[in-house]
A = this chain, B = another copy of it.
Amino acid sequence: MSFEAAVHAQAIELDRLALEMTAAAGAGHPSSSMGIGHIVTVLMFHTMRWSPDYPDYPTADRLVLSEGHAVPAVYAACAKLGVMYGKDPNNRRRLTIDDLKNLRSMNSELDGHPNPMEGFPFFDAATGSLGQGLSIAAGLAQAARLDGFDKRIYCIIGDGESREGQIAEALDYIIDHKLNKVLPIFNCNEFGQTDRVSSQQSAERMEAKLEAYGFDVKVIDGHNPTQIKNAFDAFEKATKPMAVVAKTVKGWGAESMQGAGWHGKPATGDALKKALAELDQKRMELTSSLAQSDSFTIEPPPEISTPDLAVGDMPGMPEAMKSFDMESLMHSGVVATRRAYGIALRALGRVNKKVVVLDADVSNSTFSEMFKKDSGSADRFFECKIAEQNMVGVGAGLSAAGKIPFISTFSKFFTRAYDQIEMAIYSGANLKLVGSHSGITLASDGPSQMSLPDVAWFRSLGTMKDHRGNPGCYVLQPSDAYSAYALVGVMAEYEGACYMRTLRADTEFLYSDKDVFNLGGFQTLAEGKDLVIAACGYMVHEANKAIELLDKAGISATLLDMYSLPFDSDGVLDLINQANGNIITLEDNYGGGLGSAIADALTESGDAFRLKQMHVTRIPKSAKTPDEMLKMCGLTAQDVVKEAKKLLGVD
């Protein structure tokens, strides 16, 4: 057969469909799609080993479309191949050409940008916020290596989006981990949204950069079927990481839609007719040698019976610490929650092989190094170096392949990966984010290392329901080692996103391994009749001191350890009502966190109450100790007592 002609014919068909579906949608990016028609054709009809009947089969090669707005090209290919889709895995149907006209409509799985959770399992992750796909591809490859699958991951990246620093982070990561089963394909069509892309992202510059990063680079004409095929063949044989720089034409096949001014614009009316006519002309030119018999064969993925890894029970923390020769620390009764996280990770790693751990060069601060140093789990620890955006993306990829990624760094340093975290949540990723050095009590390093608006942001995600009907994210703030240890186990058993804040400072035990901790739960540490003090994390200890001082002053207060957001509001409201509706909230971050969550619950209830929120209300600076810091921020036990008396109108 004439491979060339067959690819051209198919690519032109995809281009036509991209034009038509975006016209029907009245939105979308046809010209971007037309720029990758040939590459998508060779990948999906020829190179990839996969099955349209089971697009998410574990051993199937994967395509990550980082430039998600070009998705019509992939939807078109899936329609031509009758790929199975649908939200319910047990009740999928074949995508038809007719379905394409529903692109971007409210009831269609064909979302504006790729999104597996909306019912399109061909994809592993939601993309569209640019620069994120290559990290996800790297995570998929890392998982395949762990599973022993000979699986290739292809990632199409726009030239404009390769300006995003996360791409550089992902490239370094791929070289560090020798992930030669990931193929970054840079789609250099020379045009961004407003104008030409920078010469820093030209094909020539990309080639030079990729070589400097350590890749074998193949520069190809992205519309030449043989050059595309040869590059992919070379990749199959590659023993070191390889990258493709594809020179493409945005709006290929329809000159009337090329150059600037056509980004994200569907062609309609005469413009559509003209573009389609230009494509017809191209077909005549390029597919004359096409024989009736010409067709593609797609190699299916190797069949496997995925071993359902048996999951054992975690021992209690004392038992775990004993087995790790940490008895003396255990008996000290003072263990930082970040250290408890490390202990729990190590214990968890031994009973659950699905658990993988990522860290960003701070594993000796977050204590994830305990997992890294255990011979039973060392191969499931992935050092990401100081590149948090890529780390979260790799985690999302690992999750898409069925792993349970625990990702740790300082809480503050997750901030620059919030977009990646949000996209991962939209992808349905089973993320366990664990940030250490949370809040203000790390003291002397100062605000550049402190997480302060973080609780508000993650809590906001918890005010909506994810695709599984659970809170978009749980925020967990353990106050002692026992609760931190227990919550690691709870997170591992739960499918969905969690963010746990651990502390730099050592804290005394408040619990034992008899105590139970749940997502949405809280603990009552003292019961009083005059007032409730609701605190979390480090502040539970400060509140404890306040309770004693209040007791001496004849005020009896209830102390709640609000280790989870969201929480069981009925339970909390009952206790507040029993204390005449008087409540003080105490947290080590800016507002919008625990205090606002309580305010939301109270105002929804309609009960009568008096609430005083205590949180950080200034930009902190360095101080030598947590106590100095709490003083600076007006959050000491004495400050709580003062506010309590004010609230109760005594003295």
Contact = CB atoms under 8 A, between A and B. Distances in A.
Q: Which of A169, A387, A390 has the most CB of B within 10 A?
A: A387
Contacts of A163: 169, 172, 385-387
A228 interface: no
A625 to B, nearest CB: 9
A214 B198 CA distance: 13
B193 A365 contact: yes
Contacts of A591: 459-460, 463-464, 600
Nearest to A167: B165
Copies of this chain assembled into the complex: 2
Contacts of A363: 194
A606 B616 contact: no
19 contacts: A112-B449, A113-B445, A113-B449, A129-B448, A129-B449, A163-B169, A165-B165, A165-B167, A176-B198, A194-B369, A200-B213, A416-B420, A422-B452, A460-B592, A460-B593, A464-B590, A464-B618, A595-B600, A608-B608
A642 interface: no
Interface string A445-475: 1111100110111011101111100001000
Interface in A380-400: 383, 385-387, 389-390
A164 B164 contact: no
Contacts of A445: 27, 112-113, 128
A650 interface: no
Interface string A391-415: 0000000000000000000001101
Contact of A603 (B161, B208, B602): B602
Contacts of A608: 608
Contact of A118 (B194, B452, B621): B621
Interface residues of A, number: 125
B461 A590 contact: yes
A423 interface: yes
A192 interface: yes
Contact of A463 (B192, B200, B465, B592): B592
Contacts of A412: 129, 419
Nearest to A459: B592
A631 B622 CA distance: 49
B213 A209 contact: yes
B466 A619 contact: yes
B619 A444 contact: no
A609 interface: yes
Given A169-B163, A369-B194, A446 B617 contact: no
A624 interface: yes
Interface string A164-176: 1111110010011
B172 A444 contact: no
Given A361-B192, A448-B126, A416 B417 contact: yes
A205 B210 CA distance: 12
B172 A198 contact: yes
Interface stretch (A55-63, A103-111, A146-154, A283-291): A103-111
Contact of A164 (B165, B176, B369, B466): B165
A622 to B, nearest CB: 4
A459 B456 contact: yes
Contact of A195 (B25, B361, B589, B604): B361
Given A169-B164, A212-B208, A463-B615, A624 B105 contact: yes
A233 to B, nearest CB: 27
A462 B79 CA distance: 49
A616 B365 contact: no
A460 B611 CA distance: 18
A510 interface: no
Contacts of A617: 463-465
Interface in A154-188: 160-161, 163-169, 172, 175-176
A452 B589 CA distance: 21
